[in-house]
Amino acid sequence: MNPPPAVRLPVPTRAGSFVATYSPRGLVALAFPGRSRQPADRQVLSPEIRRWHELTSRAVRNLLNGRAPGRLPPLDLDGGTGFQRAVWTMLRRIPVGKTRTYGELARALRRPGAARAVGSACGANPIPLLIPCHRVLAAGGKLGGFSGGLEWKCRLLAIEGSVPKMTP
DNA sequence: ATCGTCATATGAA
DNA sequence: TTCATATGACGAT
């Protein structure tokens, strides 16, 4: 009946404060600045969570500076369906500076025609940025959507050197 | 160029 | 069961 113990910690950056949420198994969520309730949830931090949070913070700052994220903490993706996990796994294989389209991912998963479902799965990604759904564009190089806000998607792609088309 | 329709995964009403 | 999603291919205007 009690919710599983979760710890929410801020990841301050020049562009605002992200909020990382940890379960005993690892990072479960990463919210973009302003897209989360007040983080101020302070508890006794285990050394393990401190260590995870160091990795998260460094990865976020690296990506915001156009570098590879480096080592990530364990990701706790217990909430996802099989299809969603398959999509998220594909996302993690897109390197910095490269992009895919929703349709390409659908075909790679041998579900041509499920492009829209791929979009939904991206929207359900609880750890955007580290699981890089901002590198997924719509067909024809159009921007598509982003849970953290389209400005962020645009900014991240610019940082990584990708040039999407104008939003129609 | 724009519009309607269908396919697909998932959750909410 | 119907509707709405971070889509896309296709056929008809």
Mean pLDDT for back-to-back runs of 10 residues, chain A (168 residues): 78 96 96 82 86 98 97 96 98 97 98 98 98 97 96 97 67
Alpha-carbon distance of A146 to A152, in angstroms, equals: 8
Q: What is the DSSP string of chain A?
A: -PPPP-EEEEEEETTEEEEEEEETTEEEEEEPTTSSS------PPPHHHHHHHHHHHHHHHHHHTTS---S-PPB--TT--HHHHHHHHHHHTS-TT--EEHHHHHHHTT-TT-HHHHHHHHHT-SSBTTB-GGGEE-GGG-----TT-HHHHHHHHHHTT-------
The CA–C1' separation of A135 and C11, in angstroms, is 31
The residue assigned the tokens 């998220």 is A88
Tell me the backbone φ, ψ of residue A132, rounded to 5 degrees: -75, 75
pTM of the model as a whole: 0.94
Alpha-carbon distance of A21 to A10, in angstroms, equals: 9
Cβ of A146 less than 7 A from strand C: yes
Instruction: Please name the nucleotide lying closest to A117, CA to C1'.
Output: B9
Cβ of A119 less than 7 A from strand C: yes
**Which residue has its C-alpha nearest to nucleotide C6's C1'?**
A145
Asked about A154 being catalytic, the answer comes back as no
The residue assigned the tokens 């009946």 is A1
Quote the pLDDT of residue A9: 94
Quote the pLDDT of residue A91: 98
Where on strand B do bases come within 7 A of a protein Cβ? Answer: 7-11
Instruction: Please name the nucleotide lying closest to A115, CA to C1'.
Output: C7
Quote the pLDDT of residue A43: 74
